[in-house]
């Protein structure tokens, strides 16, 4: 069996909420609760869920932008979450990120060359400035950016062009693993396909592994190899993309799939009751989805279900799914 490229074991992230310094209560927001995922080389591992489900926090924790309050994170079998900066440097070269908002992810005062050269200079100090230059030019060409863009500032570009630059920045150190956090949701419809195609091409050429974070299941269907559906900081269902669309097991996954507007129509015809996310500060004792679940029973409100394997290979965190 091949070794996973990135693996999390029982990762938990909690954010302390701001309080008055004299107050006794120390409320914490549970952003991630015991998340175990392993991502295989070459995969497009998708994380799906609604806002507040912890999908972004998971990606950020892998890159060290949020430190886990418990659990372990491994990269190619090496534990990275407690590494000091000097040891971690070579790992950082291999792990990069593309952000959601191309209008905020590029420093408005730096031209394209400076933006792209910085990761190379910092993470590959052995390269000469001529080598840095060729590397930047190569990656720009590969991501469909014009070489003449190098001296220009981000505000001169459209959203799609900026996202290409942001992708070029993520790839300039030749990483093996890229976290793409909603990379197309801030873009116009006609641009989304361009960026998705670019990500697919780059994966084929470079053998990249993606952690693709999205709220849009139709993108997952096209793009993903395996999918983790998250709800309130927990993985609810983990399966291959084909299986999850053909045979969703968790009631939440089913709800998400039904909610996708379809060109064929018909999914909004029956009224739906308002569903609310429980408060992530005071988590319910049982299954976090119980309040919205049509199959919920007493056991669900008392006991939090753990991920368990089903015969079709799906892993699901539900007492009753089968």
Partner 1 sequence: MAMLEVKDLHVAFPRGKHDEVEALRGVSLTLEKGERLGVVGESGAGKSMLAFAILNLIAEPGRVSHGTVKFNGENLLDLSERKIRDIRGNRISMIFQDPMVTLNPVLSIGVQMMETLRAHRKISDKEARALCVAKLKEVAIPSAESRLDAYPHELSGGLRQRVVIAIALLTDPEIIIADEPTTALDVTIQAEIMALILKLCREKDVALILITHDLGVVAEVTEKLMIMYAGKCVETGPTRQIIDTPQHPYASGLLKALPQHAGRGTRLYQIPGSMPPITNLPKGCTYHPRCDFATQRCHGGEPDLVNGVACYNPLTSDPATGTETKTEAET
Partner 2 sequence: MITWRGFLKRFLADPVAIGAGIVLLVLVLMAVLAPLIAPQNPYDLMQLDIMDSEMPPSWIPGGDDRFLLGTDAQGRGVLSTIMYGTGISLLIGIGAVIVQGILGITLGLIAGYKGGWVDSFLMRLADIQMSLSTLMIAIIVLALFQAAFDASVYADYAIFMLILIIGIAEWPKFARTVRSSVLGEKNKEYVDAARVIGLPARKVMWGHILPNTLTPVLVISTIQVAEAIMTEAALSFLGLGMPVDRPSLGSLIRSGFEFVFSGQYWITFYPALVLIALVLALNLLGDWLRDVLNPKLRRGED
Residue from 10, 16, 147, 275 in contact with partner 1 (CB under 8 A): 275
List 17, 104, 193, 281, residue binding partner 2 (CB under 8 A): 104
The binder of partner 1 chosen from 18, 108, 125, 265 (CB under 8 A): 265
Tell me how crowded residue 66 is: count the other CB atoms within 10 A of its CB. Answer: 19
311 forms part of the interface with partner 1 (CB under 8 A): no
- Three-state secondary structure string covering 128-165: CHHHHHHHHHHHHHHCCCCHHHHHCCHHHCCHHHHHHH
- Render 88-114 in DSSP notation, one character per residue: HHHHHHHEEEE-S-TTTSS-TTS-HHH
304 in Cβ contact with 232 (< 8 Å): no
17 binds partner 2, rule: CB under 8 A: no
Among 6, 11, 39, 123, binds partner 2 (CB under 8 A): 123
Q: Are the beta carbons of 63 and 146 closer than 8 angstroms?
A: no
d(CA 23, CA 30): 20
| Residue 107 near which of partner 1, partner 2, none (CB within 5-8 Å, type-dependent) | partner 2
291 makes contact with partner 1 (CB under 8 A) = no
Task: Tell me the C-alpha distance between 217 and 245, whole Å.
Answer: 9
Nearer to partner 1 by C-beta: 68 or 224? Answer: 224
| Residues linked to residue 8 through DSSP beta bridges, in sequence order | 37, 73
- Which of partner 2, partner 1, none interacts with 197 (beta carbon under 5 to 8 A by kind)? partner 1
User: Does 213 sit near partner 1 (CB under 8 A)?
Assistant: no
Task: Annotate each residue in 133-162 with x if it binds partner 2 (CB under 8 A) or - if it does not, as one string.
Answer: --------------------x-x-------
Distance of CA 72 to the CA centre of its chain: 17
Judged by CB under 8 A, how many residues of this single chain contact partner 1? 50
Q: Determine if 26 is a binding residue for partner 1 (CB under 8 A).
A: no
Residue 100 or 253 having the CB closest to partner 2:
100
Task: Answer for the pair 220, 49: CB distance below 8 angstroms, yes or no.
Answer: no
Query: What does 196 interact with, of partner 2, partner 1, none (CB < 5 to 8 A by kind)?
Result: partner 1
Does the footprint of partner 2 cover residue 85 (CB under 8 A)? yes
Contact 34, 40 (CB under 8 A): no
3-state secondary structure 29-88: EEEEEEEEEEECCCCEEEEECCCCCCHHHHHHHHCCCCCCCEEEEEECCEECCCCCHHHH
Query: Of 88, 133, 206, 301, which lies in the binding site for partner 2, with binding defined by CB under 8 A?
Result: 88
User: Which H/E stretch holds residue 218?
Assistant: helix 217-223
Judge whether 291 and 220 are in contact, CB under 8 Å: no
2, 23, 273, 282: which one binds partner 1 (CB under 8 A): 273
65 sits near partner 2 (criterion: CB under 8 A)? yes
Positions touching partner 2 (CB under 8 A) are 21, 60, 63-65, 85, 88-89, 92, 95-97, 99-101, 104-109, 118-119, 122-123, 153, 155, 166, 169, 173
Positions touching partner 1 (CB under 8 A) are 50-51, 158-161, 188-194, 196-197, 200-201, 215-219, 221-224, 241-242, 255-256, 258-277
């Amino acid at each position: 069996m091949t070794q996973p490229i990135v693996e999390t074991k029982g990762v938990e992230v909690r954010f302390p909420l701001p309080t008055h310094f004299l107050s006794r209560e120390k409320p914490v927001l549970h952003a991630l609760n015991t998340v175990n995922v392993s991502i295989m080389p070459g995969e497009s591992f998708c994380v799906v869920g609604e806002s507040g489900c912890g999908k972004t926090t998971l990606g950020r924790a892998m890159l060290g932008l949020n430190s886990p309050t418990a659990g372990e994170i491994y990269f190619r079998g090496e534990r990275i979450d407690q590494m000091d900066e000097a040891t971690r440097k070579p790992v950082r070269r291999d792990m990069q990120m593309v952000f959601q908002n191309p209008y905020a992810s590029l420093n408005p005062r730096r031209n394209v060359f400076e933006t792209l050269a910085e990761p190379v200079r910092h993470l590959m100090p052995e390269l000469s400035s001529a080598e840095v230059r060729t590397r930047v030019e190569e990656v720009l060409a590969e991501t469909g950016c014009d070489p003449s863009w190098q001296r220009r500032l981000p505000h001169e570009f459209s959203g799609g062009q900026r996202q290409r630059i942001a992708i070029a920045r993520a790839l300039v150190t030749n990483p093996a693993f890229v976290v793409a956090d909603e990379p197309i949701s801030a873009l116009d419809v006609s641009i989304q396909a361009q960026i998705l195609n670019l990500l697919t091409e780059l994966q084929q050429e470079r053998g990249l592994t993606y952690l693709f974070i999205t709220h849009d299941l139709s993108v997952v269907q096209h793009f993903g190899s395996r999918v983790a559906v998250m709800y309130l900081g927990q993985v609810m269902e983990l399966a291959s993309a084909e299986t999850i669309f053909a045979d969703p097991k968790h009631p939440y996954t089913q709800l998400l799939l039904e909610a996708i507007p379809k060109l064929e129509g018909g999914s909004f015809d029956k009224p739906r009751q308002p569903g609310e996310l429980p408060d992530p500060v005071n988590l319910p004792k049982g299954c976090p989805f119980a309040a919205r679940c049509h199959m919920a029973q007493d056991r669900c409100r008392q006991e939090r279900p753990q991920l368990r394997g089903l015969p079709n290979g799906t892993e699901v965190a539900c007492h009753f799914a089968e």
